[in-house]
Chain A
């Protein structure tokens, strides 16, 4: 078992991307703290969620020193509940890069945060987050080629060795509004090969899976085709973030509103993932009083019901 800390199902979690200076983010003043909206959201909703993850956003281009983040992260985890499970979405692993990548500094930084906050696992999409030393507007999927796969295995295995906490690699996005696919291998098989060979855990983002299926023309009832190739035996977590179909494309917009298709696919996949410990509602969108935007409420409630059933061992096969 790659993830030993949680032998039981945690249930529904929340994933929060909190950029500095944004309404839903960290307020950078006085060393950093939660914005009013995030505080209000956690005050109102913390008991809806059994665990949380925070996605890393650098304060600036200064030193990668964990102490610079303590005050802000302390405020986040204290507000959520000090002793509750938490994970870390580390956006600097660049785990899908086809190039050489220096890892020591990022690993030391991540491990220092993990020591302080007791992260149960670290997650990152198997994507190209930066290329030739430049950030990309959106992470690109890895090169779906044989050498591209070998590079990913090598890179992810290096992270597994360097990180002090279990690593879960997330199936990448394909239509984020600025990403395109190079290579000709099947993405599900590619992802499974990387996860199994690197001996890490897997996170399945349901929207990312649907986006890939749409690219291949697998819509409607065909959305489940090929899914048997996914490494579901290593899946510890599912992610769901707000998605929308725009101009015939399945877009992962992170606007909080879940589609019925995502919930249907989650129902289908949950029973096939025996080691899954959680389902994460990623990037909820809410007003300054912490209330979810009205459009997101219906399917958030449905998600909550599906996960509650599954947590009790009664997940229904869709």
Chain B
């Protein structure tokens, strides 16, 4: 009986952990031990390091520029956050992406819902978790805005059967998901964000925009009535607005 779990763990790190991969390729090490002396050595002796290098590069490229379930990729979804995160950390884009892929937060992104880990979140939401947990708190308002926008766009484009949404404060009503955000003066100043912003996801549509807290409450109440099958109890004006937004 071989050490299956250790081999599977090593495979996972070969795929997603650039540091582990680099120690293996350049240093001939597995978990800090020379390959020949490692208990995993016999199983890793035939790893083609050129192929392994290519795998790492392709995974990084998909995360950065899109493909394999990552939608538009980090460059497409985080046009403002990515350079801001690089400036805040002093890391290159490659360093930032590789650290993210190696992090436990990347594991929450899953575009295939059939593994033992079950369903995951979209790439934008997973990156939001990484930035807020591992990088600078100052980036939170900006990465939140871009992440919710990216996640809801992915869901509106048909991702509901695959991805969950787990942003804090999420208001889920039937097939609708809504988030309401109040930005403080510092966030408005630093990142040119509006004072309030509502994000609303329907069956196949997504909108965002400024709305008062009261207006958001009225909208979510209307969505509850619609989900309960009693849309006639909603105001005509709200129904008309939802229809215009493609939410009905």
Contact = CB atoms under 8 A, between A and B. Distances in A.
Contacts of B51: 175, 177-180
Contacts of A102: 113-115
A180 B154 contact: no
Q: Which of B8, B69, B157, B158 has the most CB of A within 10 A?
A: B8
A145 B1 CA distance: 9
B111 A61 contact: yes
Contact of B54 (A98, A133, A178, A182): A178
Please classify how large the interface on chain A is, using the bins under 10, 10 to 19, 20 to 34, 35 or more: 35 or more
Given A182-B7, A184-B42, A184-B45, A134 B112 contact: yes
B12 interface: yes
B11 interface: yes
A184 B43 contact: yes
A295 B158 CA distance: 39
A146 interface: yes
Interface in A192-240: 215
B7 A60 contact: no
A181 B45 CA distance: 9
Interface string A113-145: 000000000000000001111111110100101
B48 A180 contact: yes
A132 B111 contact: no
A106 interface: yes
Interface string B54-79: 11001100100000110000000000
B107 A132 contact: yes
A102 B98 CA distance: 29
Contacts of B54: 177-178
Interface in B1-40: 1-2, 4, 7-8, 10-12, 14-15
A133 B110 contact: yes
Q: Is the interface of A mostly helix, strand, loop or mixed?
A: loop
B11 A143 contact: yes
A133 B15 contact: no
Nearest to A147: B4
A100 B1 CA distance: 18
Interface stretch (B137-145, B160-168, B175-183): B160-168
Contacts of B118: 133
B58 A145 contact: no
Given A135-B69, A143-B8, A184-B46, A61 B114 contact: no
Given A98-B11, A137-B68, A179-B51, A60 B159 contact: yes
A193 to B, nearest CB: 15
B116 A99 contact: yes
B51 to A, nearest CB: 4
Contacts of B192: none
B47 interface: yes
Nearest to A102: B114
Please classify how large the interface on chain B is, using the bins under 10, 10 to 19, 20 to 34, 35 or more: 35 or more
A48 interface: no
B7 A103 contact: no
B7 A143 contact: yes
Contacts of A183: 7, 43, 46
B150 interface: no
B69 A61 contact: yes
A146 B161 contact: no
Contacts of B159: 60-62
Nearest to B58: A137
Contacts of A131: 11-12, 15, 115
Nearest to A177: B54
A101 B62 contact: no
Contact of B112 (A100, A133, A175): A133
Interface in A239-256: 249
A182 B154 contact: no
Contact of A136 (B4, B10, B15): B15
B206 to A, nearest CB: 15
A99 B59 contact: no
Interface in A65-96: 92, 94
B109 interface: yes
A22 B160 CA distance: 24
B39 to A, nearest CB: 13
Contacts of B114: 92, 94, 101-103, 105-106, 130, 133
12 contacts: A61-B159, A62-B161, A98-B8, A106-B114, A130-B111, A131-B12, A133-B112, A136-B68, A137-B62, A143-B11, A182-B10, A182-B46
Interface of A: 59-64, 92, 94, 98-103, 105-106, 130-138, 140, 143, 145-148, 151, 175, 177-184, 215, 249
Interface of B: 1-2, 4, 7-8, 10-12, 14-15, 42-48, 50-52, 54-55, 58-59, 62, 68-69, 107, 109-118, 120, 154, 157-163
Given A131-B12, A145-B43, 14 more contacts: A62-B162, A98-B4, A102-B114, A106-B114, A130-B114, A132-B107, A135-B112, A143-B4, A145-B7, A147-B2, A147-B7, A178-B55, A182-B43, A184-B46
